[in-house]
């Protein structure tokens, strides 16, 4: 795993997410670049590295776009679901564009749901944007995500054939 | 080192990372705010530039095409000059906007006693409860100061670092702003609610409040020397839990999501 390239990529995605991504928003819904990165790394790199990468992407998400000003909900939700996806990918290959799109959508919805539930521990979550975060943002990301996997793979020098399947080893 | 790394089991690695996440989640907001402020400070330039480009792309139509007659070199030179003119026009426009903004503020006589500090928004939160600005302690910004956008109060400074500050908007559920309703002197506390709205509780039904009534941030000597409009009533009905009180829902009077620049009300140097 090339961690320096990873750090640069996450940093660029974080800055773009909070600034220029607004240019491609549709009715206020923006694609989530960090979600796309999460799915990419969960299915493309070693499961051990995928854990660290998932939590790091979650940290970047919380830093740049905190839900209700809190840090933590997205670190935990991205970390758990990234690790879970990495394990699922060990037993079930996700390679086709359609499958990738569905994966981005499902993981996006689940991270939004988990972040929403975790926010209850510290504050009252914002219900008004919940539908957009649960449905429309993952949907937009799912449409865009598979196409962004190619430049990300090129930058990370990762073969898009993906890692070999192996037995899950976390639990 | 590498061997140590690979020797750590995945379960242990996951547990450590999860623990880190939980620590972040339950850490005092003052600490996590500092992290967020450090991030906005470190990347204030690309964030502010991106925010401006993003907002401009919504409103400004593209520049007119270039007449491509003449030699290639002339066309290139002309394009360069046009770009320079466009850049100068943009600078002029921005300066005029600042002058206009400060001029409008100074046009209100009571506001002479307050000082206004223009600031750029570096990040606006997705849920629109908070935003970050590129002014901090070094500019005289302090926690509790009011922040204006489009000549109306939009929030208060909730945390501040040397060069950046976090603004809690009036719609943030944790926000509590003292207000007065309409022409009356009835003072209440406006509380933020999810969905870009706020509530003004404990208003008796005897008070003449209707849809469209203006809500003013209450005068607080030292912080706000004159009442300034903050919101407008969008719904007013009898409280189902207590029929003697009104259930008042208000909305900010400016479109906060479209703002790229705000003004912080700082204590006047004369005081």
Q: Residues B201-214: what's their mean pLDDT?
A: 84
Confidence of residue B62 (pLDDT cuts 50, 70, 90): very low
- Contact across the interface for A67 and B57, Cβ inside 8 Å: no
CB B173 to CB A124 under 8 A? yes
pLDDT at B74: 64
Question: What confidence score (pLDDT) does residue B209 get?
Answer: 84
pLDDT band with cut points at 50, 70 and 90 for residue B109? low
Angstrom CA distances, B156 to A119, A152, B73, B145, B271, stand at 22, 40, 54, 5, 21
Residue-wise pLDDT for A106-158, tens only, equals 999 999 999 888 887 776 666 556 777 788 889 999 999 889 988 999 988 88
Mean pLDDT of B206-229: 84
Residue-level pLDDT at A20: 79
CB atoms within 10 A of CB B123: 28
What pLDDT sits at residue B89?
A: 65
pLDDT tens profile B251-266? 988 888 778 888 999 8
Name the CATH architecture for the domain at A3-156.
Orthogonal Bundle (1.10)
Q: Is B121 in contact with B106 (CB distance < 8 Å)? A: no
Report the distance separating Cα B115 and Cα A129, nearest Å: 35
Domain boundaries, chain A: 3-156
| Whether the predicted pLDDT of A94 surpasses 50 | yes
Give whole-number Cα distances, A52 to A32, A76, A153, B60, B193, in Å: 19, 12, 18, 42, 36
Q: Is the pLDDT confidence value at A45 over 60? A: yes
Most confident residue range from A19-33, B9-23, B68-82: B9-23
Mutate to test the interface with B, among A71, A78, A86 (most CBs of B within 10 A): A71
Locate tokens 């090129």: which residue?
Answer: A154
| pLDDT tens digits along B117-146 | 888 888 765 556 788 888 888 888 999 999
B77-86 mean pLDDT: 63
The predicted pLDDT at position B114 comes to 76
Cβ B199 vs Cβ B139: under 8 Å: no
Measured distance CA(B132)–CA(A40) in Å, rounded: 30
Q: Is the pLDDT of residue A55 over 70?
A: yes
- Looking at mean pLDDT, say which of A139-143, B102-106, B200-204, B252-256 comes out highest: A139-143
Phi, psi of B270 (to 5 degrees): -70, -25
Asked whether the ipTM of the predicted complex exceeds the cut of 0.85, the reply is no
Q: Looking at residue B122, what is its pLDDT?
A: 81
Q: Which of A18, A59, A125 sits opposite B123 (nearest CB)?
A: A18
- Of B255, B118, B252, B258, nearest in space to B172 by CA: B252
CB within 8 Å: B10 and A65:
no
């Amino acid at each position: 795993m090339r961690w320096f390239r990873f750090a640069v990529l996450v940093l660029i995605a974080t800055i773009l997410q909070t600034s220029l991504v607004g240019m491609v928003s549709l009715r206020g819904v923006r694609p989530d670049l960090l979600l796309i990165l999460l799915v990419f790394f969960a299915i493309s790199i070693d499961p051990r590295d995928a854990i660290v990468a998932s939590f790091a992407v979650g940290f970047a998400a919380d830093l740049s776009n905190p839900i209700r000003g809190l840090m933590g909900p997205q670190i935990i939700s991205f970390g758990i679901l990234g690790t879970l996806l990495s394990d699922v990918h060990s037993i079930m290959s996700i390679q086709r564009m359609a499958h990738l799109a569905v994966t981005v959508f499902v993981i996006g919805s689940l991270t939004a749901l988990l972040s929403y539930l975790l926010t209850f521990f510290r504050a009252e979550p914002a219900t008004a944007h919940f539908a957009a975060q649960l449905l429309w943002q993952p949907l937009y990301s799912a449409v865009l995500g598979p196409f962004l996997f190619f430049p990300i793979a090129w930058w990370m020098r990762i073969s898009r054939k993906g890692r070999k399947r192996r037995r899950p080893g976390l639990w | 080192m590498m061997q140590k790394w690979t020797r750590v089991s995945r379960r242990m690695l996951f547990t450590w990372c999860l623990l880190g996440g939980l620590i972040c989640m339950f850490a005092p907001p003052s600490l996590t705010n500092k992290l967020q402020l450090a991030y906005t400070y470190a990347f204030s330039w690309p964030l502010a530039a991106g925010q401006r480009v993003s907002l401009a792309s919504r409103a400004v139509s593209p520049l007119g095409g270039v007449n491509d007659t003449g030699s290639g070199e002339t066309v290139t030179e002309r394009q360069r000059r046009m770009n320079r003119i466009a850049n100068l026009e943009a600078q002029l426009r921005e300066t005029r906007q600042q002058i206009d903004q400060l001029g409008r503020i100074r046009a209100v006589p009571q506001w002479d006693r307050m000082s206004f500090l223009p600031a750029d928004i570096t990040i606006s939160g997705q849920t629109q409860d908070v935003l970050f600005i590129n002014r901090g302690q070094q500019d005289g910004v302090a926690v509790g100061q009011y922040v204006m956008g489009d000549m109306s109060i939009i929030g208060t400074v909730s945390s501040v670092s040397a060069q950046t500050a976090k603004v809690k908007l009036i719609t943030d559920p944790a926000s509590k702003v003292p207000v007065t309703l309409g022409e009356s002197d009835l003072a209440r506390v406006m509380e933020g609610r999810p969905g870009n709205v706020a509530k003004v509780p404990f208003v008796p039904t005897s008070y003449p409040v209707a849809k469209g009534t203006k809500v003013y941030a209450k005068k607080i000597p030292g912080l706000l020397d004159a009442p300034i409009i903050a919101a407008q009533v969008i719904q007013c009905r009898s409280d189902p839990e207590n029929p003697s009180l009104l259930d008042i829902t208000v909305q900010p009077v400016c479109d906060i999501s479209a703002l790229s620049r705000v003004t912080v009300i700082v204590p006047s140097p004369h005081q």
